[in-house]
A and B are shown apart, each in its own frame.
Chain A
Amino acid sequence: MLMKIAVKNLSRQKTRTLAVLITVALGISSLMIYHGFNTGIMNQYRENTIHARYGHGQINIKGYRDTIWEKPWEHWMEPDHKAFQDLANSNLVDNIFPRVSFYGLVNNGKRSISGLGEGVVGKIEAPFFNTINIIKGKNLSTEEDGIVLGKGLAEALGLGIGDRVTILANTVDGSLNGLDFFVTGIFHSGMKYFDDVFFKIQLDKAQTLMDTNKIEYAAIGLHNIENWEILAGSLKAHSDIEATAFNVLDKVYYQNSVDFLQAQFNFILIVIFTIVILGIFNTVSTIIMERKNEIGNLRANGESKGEVMILILSEGVILGFFGTAIGIVMAYLINFTVLAKGIEMPPGPGITRQFITHVELQTSFIFICLLIGILSTLIGSFLAGRKVVNLPISELLRNAH
């Protein structure tokens, strides 16, 4: 009976009911689209971070990343470490990318500039690390003597694609060693300090330069990002190894950006929530004031303040539910029509090119939207109803038509 009256009451003030429904629907669809937009940006940025450099995470000897070592190679992993076999056998892992890094001099035949080199297995890295921003040539792949340099480093040495360079580096024993390479590609990460010093060569060449067969660390590519925690858990069997997720490795850029966007989203959420509550409060106040005498009659016939409030809140719940449902449908409609081609975005942190982001609406967010929609109408209805419910019955019955 209560719900029947609530539904019928809503149908008698069609314009005002529609106004509340539109307020809720607009608020919820805005929230849903903004959440989807945020998710799209974050997912794209996450994929960019993973496929540009870090993979889904890395393994190294425990404590290696936290300490500055005089002779770091003494804390590198043996190539036959059991962890590599376990990773190779794991069905969670797509690929393992062993790497070493070293300082060396990059010489163009006329002058030398010190740089930070990294040895990688180009053949397996190239397909996975496909978001690196190569501005000339191509990424390092099967070229045995290939080298890929940062933009600043290449410009400082006047190097172009196909030019020859010599890398000079210390072996682990302290003697000087050198090898010749041909420029395969030039990249631009957008981080000047990185572009001015960084270069990549094949792993075996880097190991030859340093006269070692050890692995500094291995980046790991997974089939599914959700499986990182499972993999990291299984690697705990190796007490000398630590596994670190990409968001920890790139905390400054990735995690901080994600936290920043999340904080922004929470702020917008509060703004929309407040607007919806105020909008509903205003409309519901008018509706309830017009029903003052009716509420007076209910109170005169024994309805408690609580029971009258429940009737008012029931109407709020119905409005919240249907307003939210309309808002969700609106969000999907807008996403599949107006936003179907995505939104062109300016370069994000650590990215030098524009990109298209898609609004990724989350079904898991529907439940939260439903809660927000119903809660906002409940609060709006409560604030509006409280004024009338607390009036004396005689006051409610006065001013009859």
Chain B
Amino acid sequence: MFTLKNLSFSYYLDKAEFKAIQNVSLEITQGDFVTLAGPSGSGKSTLLSLLGLIENPPRGSIYYKGEDLSILSEGRKNYLRRHEFGFIFQHFYLFPVLTAYENVEYFLVKQGILKEERKERVHWALETMGLDQFKHKKPSELSGGQRQRVAIARALAKWPKVIIADEPTASLDSKTGQSILDYLLTINRDAKVGIIMSSHDPMVLSLSPRIIRLHDGRLEL
């Protein structure tokens, strides 16, 4: 699904160059569950941002289903982000003014899904995440774990080809973190949704089917 060839990416702090990703080449196939591992500053989040079209095109190439991401128009990028990718962030980024149900429904409206199907998908996603009884609660009325499950349900309801999750368990205690990981593994297995996540949590790494280790922006072999 993703093919990376000699990928490099640098940040510039004032005039100093910080090489976040250096010469990375790898292949991620459809339905893979991949965990990017490595210490802080190793380039995990940057690599996820590049895969999710959040960062601008780098040096080297990234292909998604054979499509060169570095030459995509803004419209095509928006389309892929809206229809093919789901995102989960460490800090959830839920709409605080909407209920759990409305949070999950929001991007489906944007996808142009009709009301009846929307309803079915939202119920399915919330039920899958064990949140049915919390659907009318606002984020402020939910625990950290419940909020992250709403964020996963929101990504899942889009029926994405791949979910990109940046440290989804980092803000949670280990028990809640493990349950979140269980949910992601279930989604990957049952819904055939690819998962690419970053983590430096040993518990997460111990349960991950495939781990890609990064150090100073390079692949650790």
Q: Which residues of A contact B (CB under 8 A)?
A: 1, 4-5, 8-9, 11-12, 293-294, 296-297, 300-304, 307, 392-394, 397, 400-401
A-B contact pairs, 11 of them (CB 8 A): A1-B105, A4-B102, A294-B95, A297-B89, A301-B81, A301-B158, A302-B110, A393-B55, A394-B55, A400-B89, A400-B91
| Complex interface: chain B residues within 8 A of A303 (CB) | 78, 82, 110
Closest Cβ of chain A to B149, distance in Å, is: 16
> A392 vs B102: C-alpha distance in the bound complex, in angstroms?
26
Q: Given A300-B52, A302-B79, are A397 and B74 also a contact pair (CB < 8 Å)?
A: no
Across-interface contacts of B105 in A (CB, < 8 A) = 1
Residues of B within 8 A of A12 (CB): 96-97
Closest chain B residue to A12 by CB distance? B97
Q: Does B66 contact A (CB under 8 A)?
A: no
| Interface contact A9-B97, CB-CB below 8 Å | yes
Closest to B77 in A: A302
**In the complex, residue of chain B having the shortest beta-carbon distance to the beta carbon of A304:** B78
Q: Is the CB of A302 within 8 A of B107?
A: yes
Bound CA span A5–B90, Å = 23
Name the residue of chain B whose CB is nearest to the CB of A296.
B93
Contact bitstring B62-99, A, C-beta under 8 A = 1, else 0: 00000000000011001111110001011101011110
Cross-chain contact A11 with B109 (CB below 8 angstroms): no
Given A1-B106, A301-B87, A302-B79 in contact, is the A8-B98 Cβ separation under 8 Å?
Answer: yes
Please measure, in the bound complex, the distance between the C-alpha atom of A302 and the C-alpha atom of B52, giving whole angstroms.
10
Residues of B contacting A296 with CB < 8 Å? 93
CB distance B54 to A11 under 8 Å? Answer: no
Which of A302, A400, A401 is close to B81, meaning CB atoms less than 8 Å apart?
A302
Q: Is there contact, CB below 8 Å, between B96 and A302?
A: no
Chain B residue with the shortest CB-CB distance to A2: B109
**A-chain residues with CB within 8 Å of residue B110 when the two chains form the complex:** 301-303, 307
B49 lies within 8 A of chain A by Cβ: yes
Of B56, B83, B89, B102, the contact of A302 (CB 8 Å cutoff): B83
CA distance A11 to B110 in the complex (A): 23
Residues of B within 8 A of A302 (CB): 78-83, 107, 110
Give A6's nearest chain B residue, CB to CB.
B97
A397–B53 alpha-carbon span in the complex (Å): 13
B78 touches A293 (CB 8 A): no
Closest 3 CB pairs of A and B: A302-B82, A8-B97, A297-B93
B16 → chain A closest CB, angstroms: 18
User: Chain A CB within 10 Å — which of B83, B90, B106 has the most?
Assistant: B106
Q: Are B87 and A297 in contact (CB under 8 A)?
A: yes
Question: What residues of B have a CB within 8 angstroms of the CB of A11 in the complex?
Answer: 97
Question: CA A303 – CA B106 in complex, angstroms?
Answer: 11
B93: chain A residues within 8 A (beta carbon): 293-294, 296-297, 397
Bound together, the chains give a CA A8 to CA B95 distance in angstroms of 10
Q: How far is the CA of A300 from the CA of B109 in the complex (A)?
A: 16
A293 to chain B: closest residue by CB: B93
Contacts of A9 in B (CB 8 A): 97
Residue in A1, A5, A301, A304 whose CB lies within 8 Å of B74 = A304
Considering only CB atoms, which chain A residue lies closest to B109 in the complex? A1
Q: How far is the CA of A127 from the CA of B16 in the complex (A)?
A: 89
In angstroms, Cα B58 to Cα A394, docked, is 14
Complex interface: chain B residues within 8 A of A297 (CB)? 87, 89, 93
Shortest Cβ gap from A216 to chain B (Å):
76
Q: Which residues of A contact B52 (CB under 8 A)?
A: 300
B158: nearest chain-A partner, CB-CB: A301
CA distance A12 to B55 in the complex (A): 31
> What's the Cα separation between A4 and B75 when bound, in Å?
25
User: A302 vs B56: C-alpha distance in the bound complex, in angstroms?
Assistant: 15
Enumerate chain A residues within 8 angstroms of B102, measured Cβ to Cβ: 4
State whether A5 touches B107 (Cβ < 8 A).
Answer: no
CB–CB B49/A394 < 8 A: yes
* Chain B residues, Cβ within 8 Å of A397: 54, 89, 93
| Nearest A residue (CB) for B91 | A400
CB-CB < 8 A to B96: which residues of A?
12
Write out the residue numbers on chain A whose beta carbons fall within 8 Å of the beta carbon of B78: 302-304
Contact partner, B107, options A8, A301, A394, Cβ 8 Å: A301
Residues of B within 8 A of A392 (CB): 55-56
- How far, in whole Å, are A294 and B55 apart by their CA atoms in the complex? 17
CB neighbours (8 Å) of B87 from chain A are 297, 300-301
User: CA separation between A296 and B79, bound complex, in Å?
Assistant: 16
A293 touches B55 (CB 8 A): no
**B-side contacts of A1, CB under 8 Å:** 105-106, 109
State how many angstroms separate the Cβ of A17 from the closest Cβ of chain B: 12
Which residue on chain A has the smallest CB distance to residue B111? A302
A394 CA to B45 CA in the complex, in Å?
A: 10
A300's contact among B54, B56, B97, B98, by CB below 8 Å, is which? B54
Query: How far, in whole Å, are A303 and B74 apart by their CA atoms in the complex?
Result: 11
Residue of B nearest to A393 (CB): B54
Whole-angstrom distance between the alpha carbons of A208 and B12 in the complex?
A: 101
Residues of A within 8 A of B74 (CB): 304
A307 to B122 alpha-carbon distance, docked (Å): 23
CA distance A393 to B74 in the complex (A): 12
- In the bound assembly, the distance between CA atoms of A11 and B90 in angstroms comes to 26
* Given A297-B89, A302-B78, 11 additional A-B pairs, CB 8 A: A4-B102, A5-B95, A5-B98, A293-B91, A300-B87, A301-B82, A301-B87, A301-B107, A302-B83, A397-B54, A400-B90
Q: Please give, as numbers and ranges, the residues of chain B lying within 8 Å of A5 by CB-CB distance.
A: 95, 97-98, 106
Residues on A with C-beta less than 8 A from B81 are 300-302
| Closest beta carbon of chain A to B138's beta carbon, Å | 10
For B49, the closest partner residue in chain A by CB is: A394
Residue of A nearest to B82 (CB): A302
B54 to chain A minimum Cβ distance, whole angstroms, is 5
Kindly report which residue of chain B lies nearest to residue A10, judged by CB atoms. Answer: B97
